[in-house]
């Protein structure tokens, strides 16, 4: 009779209990950072390709590979790509979390995945989820020149619960700049959900975004979202080809919530789904976006604001955000007497020799923007390229000066826009506002403007408003409905 070892019996029994095929290990998570030359991984997992200066980590033998890192005094990223490129073979879930009891003030992660340097590659095209808890910065960040990051598909989630200090410019995916750094970088992300929940319990600010090219990043950066290809056509994602290339991209959900919980906290609470504020010729492209941005707080009339924006371009020139289509929900609630802004799409430019684009090439676009509080501004679409300002000249005479900024365009297919204000003593509620910019709707436009329980003073309520040389073109039928429970509303 053939003997069966106790270890084999135990393995078969565990396989039955956990419904695992025999021979598949229930692997323990990896807990050491991945950083190339000086990390703790050895042969069997890590090898070095001297020709390409790349460390290759092979997790293909583990069908459920997980990297779970806890921040320490000397360790604040789960994966750091600094002196050499890194390739991850096989799907790898990445988690990094804080140790709030470590040291004198706790240890907090900075990024889950961080690339810093020049011409480095982080290749994780097999994907996996990314999770960061109580991080100080973005879950995924590039800083440097000419770097490339392939993230694959999977969810990216951040949970931040802050009892002291700022929640400042935290993104799910970010290209960062500064000190003349931040040119010619590329991030490619597959399909999934990018989610951040940021709760501010102290008297400090709260600013988060889903996907961002930073205001300090100079030129020619690119983020591609919803990618499903073979990584051999990335150079085709140019301004001229975007209308066709976004059709090949998949679904990405962005869900963001920023909450300031203390009624004594008058600092800002700001959320933006996708933002491109870099200097020049930067592109963010995706397929079908479902974006939810929610912000709440307690700013007062003389303090900061509560702002929720779905898609935003500002400051730079010749920048583009392009999609197959957008479904956007933006909700801002100010629980004090200050300002609340809810914007579906906001396109601005202050550079006079430029043009910035937000494009959604297909039909089926939907925007729902809602602001609740006292001083309220809601725009479904804002194209802001000019303003007026007062100047005192000629021995004290006051003049109103027209100030033209750069050109901005928002182009969409057929769209339904609903804007809503709840309460308010001073409100602006406009479906489409072209303030010196251009909005082109290549299809039908349904616009519904809801004004609920507002005071009878200081109101601008319009379905469409163009001024200062702004233009709104609708190629199909336009239907505008104003629902205002006051008798003297402007229509």
DSSP letter string, 68-134: EEE-BTTB-EEEEESSSEEEEES--EEEEE-BTTSTTT-B--SEEEEEEEES-EEE-TT---EEEES
Secondary structure letter of residue 246 according to DSSP: G
pLDDT band at 161 (very low <50, low <70, confident <90, very high): very high
Look at residue 489 in the predicted model and tell me its pLDDT.
46
Q: Which residue has the higher pLDDT, 393 or 170?
A: 170
C-alpha span between 294 and 369 (Å, rounded):
10
Look at residue 12 in the predicted model and tell me its pLDDT.
41
- Which segment of 102-116, 244-258, 342-356, 467-481 scores lowest on mean pLDDT? 342-356
Look at residue 59 in the predicted model and tell me its pLDDT.
96
Q: In what order do the strands lie in the sheet with 288-297?
A: 66-70, 93-97, 130-133, 156-162, 192-200, 251-260, 288-297, 325-334, 365-372, 415-422, 445-452, 478-484
| Residue that has been written with the tokens 């940021």 in this structure | 198
Look at residue 402 in the predicted model and tell me its pLDDT.
59
Secondary structure letter of residue 21 according to DSSP: P
Please determine, for residue 17, whether its predicted confidence score (pLDDT) is greater than 50.
Answer: no
Q: How many CB atoms lie within 10 A of CB 38?
A: 7
pLDDT band at 487 (very low <50, low <70, confident <90, very high): low
pLDDT band at 302 (very low <50, low <70, confident <90, very high): confident
What confidence tens digit (pLDDT) does each residue in 190-235 have? Answer: 999 999 999 999 999 999 999 999 988 889 999 999 999 999 999 9
C-alpha span between 108 and 348 (Å, rounded):
35
Please determine, for residue 364, whether its predicted confidence score (pLDDT) is greater than 60.
Answer: yes
Under 8 Å between Cβ of 323 and 287? yes
What residues have CB less than 8 Å from 113, skipping those under 6 apart? 77, 78, 79, 81, 94, 122, 124, 130, 139, 140, 141, 149, 151
Look at residue 39 in the predicted model and tell me its pLDDT.
95
Under 8 Å between Cβ of 116 and 143? yes
What confidence tens digit (pLDDT) does each residue in 79-121 have? Answer: 999 999 999 999 999 999 999 889 888 999 999 999 999 999 9
Strand partners, 311: 274, 345
Look at residue 397 in the predicted model and tell me its pLDDT.
62
Query: Considering the entire predicted model, what is its pTM?
Result: 0.92
C-alpha span between 349 and 438 (Å, rounded):
12
pLDDT band at 491 (very low <50, low <70, confident <90, very high): very low
Q: What are phi and psi of 51, to 5 degrees?
A: -65, -35
pLDDT band at 458 (very low <50, low <70, confident <90, very high): confident
The long-range contacts involving 248-251, CB below 8 angstroms and separated by at least 24 positions, are 248/287, 249/224, 249/225, 249/285, 249/286, 249/287, 249/288, 249/324, 250/190, 250/191, 250/226, 250/287, 250/288, 251/191, 251/226, 251/287, 251/288, 251/290
Under 8 Å between Cβ of 481 and 449? yes
Secondary structure letter of residue 235 according to DSSP: G
The region that residue 340 occupies, defined by phi over 0 for left and psi between -120 and 50 for alpha, beta otherwise, is beta
Q: For the residues 44-49, what does the mean pLDDT come to?
A: 95
Look at residue 395 in the predicted model and tell me its pLDDT.
61
For the chain, the average pLDDT equals: 90
| Residue that has been written with the tokens 């900061």 in this structure | 304
Look at residue 327 in the predicted model and tell me its pLDDT.
98
Look at residue 6 in the predicted model and tell me its pLDDT.
36
Cα angle 289-331-406, degrees, rounded to a multiple of 5: 70
C-alpha span between 277 and 316 (Å, rounded):
6
What does the buried/exposed string (b/e) look like for 198-208 if buried means 16 or more CB atoms within 10 Å of the residue's CB?
bbbebebbbbb
* Terminal Cα distance for the chain, rounded: 92
Q: What count of Cα atoms within 13 Å lies in the side-chain half-sphere of residue 428?
A: 15
């Amino acid at each position: 009779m053939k003997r069966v070892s106790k270890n084999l019996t135990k393995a078969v029994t565990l396989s039955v209990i956990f419904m695992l095929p025999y021979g598949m290990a229930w692997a323990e998570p990896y807990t050491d950072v991945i950083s190339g030359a000086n990390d703790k991984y050895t042969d069997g997992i890590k090898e070095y390709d001297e020709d390409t200066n790349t460390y290759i980590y092979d997790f293909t033998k583990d069908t459920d590979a997980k990297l779970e890192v806890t921040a320490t005094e000397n360790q604040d990223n789960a994966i750091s790509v600094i002196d050499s490129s890194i390739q991850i073979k096989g799907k790898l879930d990445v988690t990094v979390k804080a140790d709030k009891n470590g040291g004198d003030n706790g240890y907090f992660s900075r990024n889950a995945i961080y690339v810093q340097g020049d011409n480095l590659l982080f290749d994780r095209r097999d994907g996996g989820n990314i999770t960061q808890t109580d991080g100080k910065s973005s879950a995924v960040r590039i800083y440097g020149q000419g770097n490339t990051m392939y993230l694959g598909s999977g969810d990216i989630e951040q949970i931040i619960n802050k009892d002291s200090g700022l929640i400042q410019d935290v993104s799910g995916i970010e290209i960062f700049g500064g000190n003349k750094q931040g040119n010619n970088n590329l991030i490619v992300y597959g399909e999934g959900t990018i989610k951040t929940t940021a709760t501010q319990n102290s008297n400090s600010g709260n600013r988060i975004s889903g996907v961002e090219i930073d205001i300090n990043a100079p030129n020619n950066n690119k983020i591609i979202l919803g990618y499903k290809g073979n990584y051999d056509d990335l150079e085709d994602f140019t301004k001229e080809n975007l209308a066709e290339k976004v059709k090949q991209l998949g679904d990405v959900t962005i869900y963001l919530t920023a909450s300031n919980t203390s009624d004594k906290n008058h600092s800002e609470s700001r959320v933006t789904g996708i933002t491109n504020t870099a200097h020049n010729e930067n592109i963010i492209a995706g397929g079908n976006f479902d974006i939810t941005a929610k912000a709440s707080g307690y700013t007062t009339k003389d303090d900061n604001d509560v702002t929720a924006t779905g898609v935003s371009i500002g400051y730079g020139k010749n920048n583009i955000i392009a999609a197959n289509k957008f479904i956007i929900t933006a909700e801002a609630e100010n629980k004090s007497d200050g300002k609340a802004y809810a914007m579906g799409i906001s396109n601005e430019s202050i550079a006079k020799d430029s043009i910035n684009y937000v494009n959604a090439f297909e039909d089926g676009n939907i925007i729902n923007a809602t602001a609740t509080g006292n001083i309220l501004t809601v725009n479904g679409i804002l194209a802001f390229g000019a303003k007026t300002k007062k100047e005192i000249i000629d021995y004290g005479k006051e003049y109103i000066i027209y100030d033209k900024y750069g050109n901005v365009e928002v182009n969409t297919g057929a769209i339904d826009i609903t804007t809503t204000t709840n309460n308010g003593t001073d409100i602006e509620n406009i479906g489409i506002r072209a303030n010196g910019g251009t909005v082109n709707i290549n299809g039908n436009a349904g616009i519904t403007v809801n004004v609920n329980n507002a005071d009878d003073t200081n109101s601008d309520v319009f379905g469409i408003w163009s001024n200062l040389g702004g233009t709104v073109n609708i190629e199909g039928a336009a239907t505008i409905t104003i629902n205002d429970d006051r008798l003297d509303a402007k229509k």
